[in-house]
């Protein structure tokens, strides 16, 4: 058989010179001797290609890796260039598309008030409230507010709400307000100005009204409707858009049927992380005002996210997010400018710091005791003792600081903060010692702590709600959720610790404790009809538990031996209550479903002839 020799393709240089090419790789002997690159001829006579594609790619990859290593070692790597690239990739709108913002996804199910229609509504009417082309002319709902009343409501918001939720820079809010009620020119206000002022008026009216709360809520809903007509240009993918979203969350605290708070807080949290507000910028060119605004917007977002997630016993993105953002300054905005911060200025934003510290403790409890968290490094008992000590110290420090106040203009704020501390401390004790996935069977001692603290939650919220002082917090979301959760824990403790409770409290005492919960729900129902459902559900659940406890005390009074449940004798519990042990939100959330309880009073809202007489304002 004749010998077959594999044909070797000559390289481009050998082919041009018409000499024998040995075809060696990666370079033939002729090219090696000449010290020239050895390449193959391409399809075109004027083009050359690598003789080995594999070798060529390996060489190019090595060059690229070397270049990357050199770039990584170079401290001059431009952060500005990276930020510019990210900015170019980031859309200017906060939503799926420029014409499809995310927020209506959380508000679409809400029945919005109408100045002409009755309370009945359908989906098409609801969708029409979100005007794709916002009208920059303020609506009748906003313009029917007399200027003197608007000034009063704005002052109430600035002095009572802003110190708790410093979302905006005060000078910006003043400019927005003046553009609507004290315009310096004939130009129309911007959509953002209409949006912000409408919600501020709605929030302040709801908190300031002493009487005719249903009517005040109706007007507030009309203002909310006006704000929702401006959403497309307002919800931008920047800090200003996030501030607008947080303002909507704040309003929804007062009217939970207006939107889905869980979705709204989730949108705000994701936007906050996307904007990098959870990480302090190292850019030294950021001025003092911008840095303070970034900090306060982050911590307001954090507070709202944890407040809602913890109330619903749900995980949060912020549980696993590394945060290195300091608290913003406590001084008044009049002492803050782009050039610097006067630390000797009056401290007006002290309340929000206390609240943020409380949310940090609350977030730690939820992340550890409920499924989203990791086990603590120490024993659970030691950790629980530490948490209890921290919340008690936080509570005592607020009361001590309030006792040192000498400013007569701050007395009402300190009184409200002290009451907030009482409620928050009791609620933390309830959350810490209640049954949870991590501790499904708390000890009798811990259940008794939760039992007493639960009553404190109901009493504290009732004191807060029954106080008709101007501007006092009258939110309904957290009082209803917290009190209902405390009521469930109260009932479970009443079932499990009969012996201890009967030895310490009379039957009249226990009936008084139960009445605290019912009284709170009935009081809130006067301002928000949805609370009546909480009252009905609580009384339905507590009836068999109360009957069981009364039977126990009667038997005990007859000297019939009754040992505690924990000593071996089991009492049959209401199966409905057992299903509520961990406050399964599938059963609890329908009480707050959007659109169920937003009943308007006899159709359209009407404009008061005398706002002071109607709502008990004091405009002197």
Distance CA 71, CA 63 (A): 12
Whether the pLDDT of residue 573 is over 60: the answer is: no
Domain that holds residue 36: 1-59
Indicate which CATH number applies to the domain containing 4: 4.10.240.10
Answer whether residue 599 is part of any domain.
Answer: no
Phi, psi of 102 (to 5 degrees): -75, -35
Name the DSSP class of 571.
Answer: P
pLDDT band per the 50, 70, 90 thresholds, residue 240: very high
Whether the pLDDT of residue 84 is over 80: the answer is: no
Average pLDDT, the chain: 78
- 113 and 242 belong to one structural domain: yes
- 572 and 445 belong to one structural domain: yes
Whether residue 402 contacts residue 418, with contact meaning beta carbons closer than 8 Å, is answered with yes
Nearest 5°: CA angle at 402, between 401 and 408?
125
Task: Please say which residue of 211, 238, 260 terminates a domain.
Answer: 260
- 491 and 575 belong to one structural domain: yes
- 462 and 572 belong to one structural domain: yes
Q: By C-alpha distance, which of 463, 459, 464, 430 is closest to 447?
A: 430
Phi, psi of 34 (to 5 degrees): -80, -15
pLDDT band per the 50, 70, 90 thresholds, residue 599: very low
Phi, psi of 321 (to 5 degrees): -100, 130
- 454 and 563 belong to one structural domain: yes
Whether the pLDDT of residue 5 is over 60: the answer is: no
Answer whether residue 73 is part of any domain.
Answer: no
pLDDT band per the 50, 70, 90 thresholds, residue 83: low
Residue 1: its pLDDT value, please? 52
| Region for residue 23 given its phi and psi (left: phi exceeds 0; alpha: psi -120 to 50; beta: otherwise) | left
Whether the pLDDT of residue 567 is over 50: the answer is: no
Distance CA 248, CA 252 (A): 6
Answer whether residue 591 is part of any domain.
Answer: no
Answer whether residue 163 is part of any domain.
Answer: yes
- 11 and 128 belong to one structural domain: no
pLDDT in tens, 323-348: 889 999 999 999 999 888 998 888 88
Answer whether residue 176 is part of any domain.
Answer: yes
Answer whether residue 589 is part of any domain.
Answer: no
| Tokens 């024998």 found at | 20
Paired sense of beta strands 100-101 and 95-97, if any: antiparallel
Distance CA 187, CA 477 (A): 39
- Predicted structure pTM score: 0.75
Exposed e or buried b for every residue in 132-168, given b needs 16+ CB within 10 A?
Answer: eebeeebbebbebbbeebbebbbbbbbbbbbbbbbbb
Task: Please say which residue of 225, 260, 295 terminates a domain.
Answer: 260
pLDDT band per the 50, 70, 90 thresholds, residue 218: confident
- 570 and 447 belong to one structural domain: yes
The three-state DSSP-derived secondary structure of 384-434 is HHHHHHHHHHHHHHHHHHHHCCCCHHHHHHHHHHHHHHHHHHHHHHHHHHC
Distance CA 43, CA 28 (A): 20
Whether the pLDDT of residue 562 is over 50: the answer is: no
Exposed e or buried b for every residue in 362-401, given b needs 16+ CB within 10 A?
Answer: bbbbbbbbbebbeebeeeeeebbeebbeebeebbeebeee
Phi, psi of 308 (to 5 degrees): -80, -45
Q: What are the residue ranges of helices labelled H in 229-343?
A: 231-234, 239-254, 261-274, 288-311
pLDDT band per the 50, 70, 90 thresholds, residue 555: confident
pLDDT band per the 50, 70, 90 thresholds, residue 103: low
Taking the alpha carbons of 259, 263, 265, 268 in that order, is the dihedral positive or negative?
negative
Distance CA 336, CA 288 (A): 8
pLDDT band per the 50, 70, 90 thresholds, residue 484: very high
- 183 and 40 belong to one structural domain: no
Whether the pLDDT of residue 448 is over 60: the answer is: yes
- 110 and 251 belong to one structural domain: yes
- 33 and 135 belong to one structural domain: no
pLDDT in tens, 416-427: 899 999 999 999
pLDDT in tens, 294-328: 999 999 999 999 999 998 888 887 876 678 899 99
Residue 177: its pLDDT value, please? 95
Answer whether residue 130 is part of any domain.
Answer: yes
Answer whether residue 96 is part of any domain.
Answer: no
Residue 102: its pLDDT value, please? 57
3-state DSSP assignment of residue 158: helix
- 136 and 42 belong to one structural domain: no
The domain tally of the chain equals 3
Of 26-40, 248-262, 355-369, the one with minimum mean pLDDT is 26-40
Q: Hey, which residues does 97 pair with through a beta bridge?
A: 100
- 9 and 106 belong to one structural domain: no
Cα atoms in the 13 Å half-sphere on the side-chain side of 322: 2
What is the chain's length?
A: 620
pLDDT band per the 50, 70, 90 thresholds, residue 612: low
Span between the terminal Cα atoms of the chain, in Å: 119
Distance CA 245, CA 234 (A): 9
pLDDT band per the 50, 70, 90 thresholds, residue 559: low
């Amino acid at each position: 058989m004749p010998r077959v020799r594999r044909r070797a393709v000559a390289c481009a240089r050998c082919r041009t010179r018409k000499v024998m090419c040995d075809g060696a790789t990666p370079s033939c002997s002729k090219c090696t001797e000449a010290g020239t690159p050895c390449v193959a001829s391409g399809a075109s006579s004027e083009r050359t290609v690598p003789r080995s594609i594999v070798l060529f790619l390996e060489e190019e990859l090595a060059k690229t890796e070397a270049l990357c290593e050199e770039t990584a070692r170079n401290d001059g790597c431009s952060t500005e260039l990276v930020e510019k690239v990210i900015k170019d990739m980031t859309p200017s709108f906060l939503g799926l598309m420029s014409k499809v913002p995310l927020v209506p996804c959380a508000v679409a199910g809400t029945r919005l008030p109408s100045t002409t229609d009755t309370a009945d509504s359908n989906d098409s009417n609801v969708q029409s409230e979100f005007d794709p082309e916002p009208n920059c002319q303020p609506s009748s709902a906003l313009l029917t507010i007399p200027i003197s009343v608007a000034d009063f409501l704005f002052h109430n918001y600035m002095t009572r709400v802003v110190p708790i939720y410093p979302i905006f820079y005060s000078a910006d809010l003043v400019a927005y307000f003046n553009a609507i009620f004290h315009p310096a020119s004939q130009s129309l206000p911007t959509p953002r100005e209409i949006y912000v002022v409408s919600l501020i008026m709605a929030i302040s009216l709801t908190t300031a009204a002493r009487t005719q709360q249903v009517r005040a809520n109706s007007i507030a809903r009309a203002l909310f409707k006006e704000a929702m007509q401006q959403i497309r240009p307002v919800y931008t993918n920047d800090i200003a858009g996030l501030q607008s979203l947080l303002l909507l969350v704040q309003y929804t605290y007062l009217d939970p049927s207006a939107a889905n708070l869980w979705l709204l807080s989730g949108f705000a949290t994701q936007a906050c992380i996307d904007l990098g507000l959870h990480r302090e910028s190292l850019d030294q060119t950021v001025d003092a005002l911008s840095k303070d605004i970034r900090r306060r917007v982050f911590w307001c977002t954090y507070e709202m996210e944890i407040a809602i997630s913890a109330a619903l016993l749900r995980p949060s993105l912020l549980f696993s997010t590394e945060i290195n953002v300091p608290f913003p300054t406590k001084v008044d905005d009049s002492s803050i400018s782009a050039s610097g911060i006067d630390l000797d200025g009056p401290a007006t934003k002290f309340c929000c710091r206390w609240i943020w510290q409380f949310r940090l403790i609350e977030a730690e409890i939820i992340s550890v005791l409920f499924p989203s968290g990791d086990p603590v490094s120490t024993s659970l008992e030691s950790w629980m003792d530490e948490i209890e000590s921290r919340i008690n110290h936080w509570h005592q420090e607020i009361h001590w600081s309030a006792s040192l106040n000498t400013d007569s203009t701050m007395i009402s704020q300190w009184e409200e903060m002290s009451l907030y501390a009482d409620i928050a401390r009791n609620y933390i004790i309830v959350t810490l010692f209640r049954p949870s996935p991590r501790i499904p069977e708390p000890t009798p001692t811990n259940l008794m702590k939760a039992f007493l603290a639960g009553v404190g939650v109901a009493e504290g919220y009732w004191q807060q709600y029954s106080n008709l002082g101007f501007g006092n917090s009258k939110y309904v979301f957290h009082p209803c959720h917290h009190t209902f959760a405390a009521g469930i824990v109260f009932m479970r403790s009443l079932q499990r610790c009969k012996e201890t409770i009967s030895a310490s409290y009379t039957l009249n005492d226990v009936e008084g404790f139960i009445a605290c919960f019912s009284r709170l729900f009935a009081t809130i129902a006067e301002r928000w009809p949805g609370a009546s459902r909480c009252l009905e559900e609580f009384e339905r659940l507590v009836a068999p538990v109360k009957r069981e406890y009364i039977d126990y005390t009667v038997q005990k009074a007859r000297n019939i031996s009754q040992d505690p449940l924990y000593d071996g004798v089991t009492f049959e519990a209401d199966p409905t209550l057992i299903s509520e042990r961990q406050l399964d939100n599938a059963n609890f959330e329908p009480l707050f479903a959007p659109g169920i309880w937003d009943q308007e009073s006899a159709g359209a809202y009407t404009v008061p002839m005398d706002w002071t007489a109607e709502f008990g304002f004091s405009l002197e």
